[in-house]
Amino acid sequence: MKKNKIIVTGGLGYIGSHTAVELSEKFAVVIVDDLSNSTIDVLDGINKISKSKPLFEKLDLKNKDDVKSLFKRHNDAIGLIHFAAYKAVGESVENPLKYYENNLSSLIYILQEIDKLNHSFNLIFSSSCTVYGQAENLPITEEETIKKAESPYGNTKQISEEILFDYSKINSNLNIISLRYFNPIGAHQSSSIGELPIGVPQNLIPFITQTAAGIHEKITVFGDDYNTPDGTCIRDYIHVVDLAKAHIAAIENLIQSKNESNYDVYNIGTGKGTSVLEVIHSFMKSTEVKINYVIGNRRNGDIESAYADNSKAIKKLNWSPKYSIDDAITSAWKWERKIRKL
């Protein structure tokens, strides 16, 4: 039987590549990426482990004509998963226009093409728990109040969700889900794909694995004077393969279109909070590799605690996370060793 076609923008990125692999079990996948924050080698990794080879198109979604031609070539696609976006919080503060231009124009151009279709279409949007800021209530439900964004990056996620919500009201042919990711970590069990931070990593797990690989002498824990049991910040770390599978559950939910509304949001996390020190100690225990760490100052803009109430996704998307944080940490280390040839 011919498989339904799904376009994956940013499909060579960290979450996009893992999702493309999972999607290829059931769908014909078209990966779109401009290679601005990824490399073509990722495609080889995807091809090695995918059930069927995705098609790849190098394309810049900031270019309206490119988006038009993409939809013309793939007018048989039944859906699109939109990962393509810039995501470095610090850089977005330094260069807000770069973030607003890229993250918002690509979404608008995609919606303008969807608007021309005369068949039903399904869209999954990569959102983030960053939209909640420091939530009043933990675990965080989808009902939590959205506060003013801490960064232009966070603001692009909030604005994108608003654009999608407003547009969903006038296009009943379009079904949309925004997935609010908590902290994705780890790599595919094959170590054929994983996270490839460019430059010095800002995120915790890549910094830990690079420290273990000897690239950094030590890791700095950003503050131990938070109001948490060990004083360090708490996050909800989810294995990237579990997160990838949430996209398959979400697109299938849309295809079956059993929903009351054509726009919905879901938290995708494990529901479990883990502190920075717990992550560092879990890493040392599960890998038996010692890393040096020091306690430093708080990082600007960091929130104290964020972990998901994931019950809506479990109930309505029929999805649940399968991997433990130790599984995720071990897979991240295996990936780091592979790319460093250790």
The catalytic residues are: 153
Strand pairing report for 5-9 and 234-235: unpaired
d(CA 204, CA 38): 19
Residue with tokens 């996050």: 235
* Beta carbon nearer to ligand UD1, 106 or 262: 106
Q: How far is the CB of 170 from ligand UD1 (least distance, A)?
A: 29
**Binder of ligand UD1 out of 103, 128, 175, 192 (CB under 6 A):** 128
CB of residue 149 vs ligand UD1: minimum separation in angstroms?
A: 9
- Phi, psi at residue 158, to the nearest 5°? -65, -45
Q: Identify the bridge partners of residue 312 per DSSP, sorted by sequence position.
A: none
Spell out, one character per residue from 229 to 258, where the chain touches ligand UD1: x when CB under 6 A holds, - when not: ----x-x-----------------------
Alpha-carbon distance of 186 to 333, in angstroms, equals 8
Distance in Å, CB of 5 to ligand UD1, minimum: 29
Residue closer to ligand UD1 (CB basis): 54 or 184? 184
Question: Taking Cα atoms as reference points, which of 227, 122, 218, 128 lies closest to residue 177?
Answer: 122
**Which phi-psi region, left, alpha or beta, contains residue 271 (left: φ > 0; alpha: ψ -120 to 50)?**
left
Candidates 130, 267, 330, 331: give the one binding ligand UD1 (CB under 6 A).
Answer: 130
Q: What is the DSSP string of 221-268?
A: EE-S-SSSTTSS-EE-EEEHHHHHHHHHHHHHHHHHT--SSSEEEEEE
Comparing every residue's Cβ against ligand UD1, the nearest one is 233
Is beta strand 77-82 parallel, antiparallel or unpaired with respect to 5-9?
Answer: parallel
Residue 183 tokens read as 């902290």
Shortest Cβ distance from residue 251 to ligand UD1 (Å)?
Answer: 22
Closer of 207 and 323 to ligand UD1 (Cβ): 207
204 lies in the site for ligand UD1, by CB under 6 A? yes
- Of 120, 171, 203, 311, the one binding ligand UD1 by CB under 6 A: 203
Binding to ligand UD1 by residue 222, rule CB under 6 A?
yes
Q: What residues does 128 pair with on adjacent strands?
A: 181
The 43-82 site mask, x for binding ligand UD1 (CB under 6 A), equals: ----------------------------------------
Give me the 140-159 binding string for ligand UD1, x by CB under 6 A, dash otherwise: --------------x-----
> Cβ of residue 48: shortest distance to ligand UD1, in angstroms?
25
**Interacting span for ligand UD1 (CB under 6 A) from 42-50, 187-195, 197-205, 256-264:** 197-205
Omega within 30 of 0 (cis) for the link into 54: no
CB of 45 to ligand UD1, least distance (A): 20
Distance (Å, rounded) from C-alpha 325 to C-alpha 201? 20
* Between 200 and 342, CB nearer to ligand UD1: 200
Is 202 a binder of ligand UD1 (CB under 6 A)?
yes
Residue 85 within binding range of ligand UD1, rule CB under 6 A: no
Nearest to 308 by CA among 341, 337, 270: 270
If the CB atoms of residues 299 and 312 are measured against ligand UD1, the closer one turns out to be 299
Kindly give, in sequence order, each residue whose CB lies less than 8 Å from that of residue 65, ignoring residues fewer than 6 positions away: none
| CA–CA gap between residue 338 and residue 45 (Å, rounded) | 12
Query: What is the three-class DSSP state of 183?
Result: strand
Cβ-contact 150, 109 below 8 angstroms: no
CB of 90 to ligand UD1, least distance (A): 7
219 near ligand UD1 (CB under 6 A): yes
Residues that bind ligand UD1 (CB under 6 A): 87, 89, 128, 130, 154, 183, 202-204, 207, 219-222, 233, 235, 276, 299, 301-302
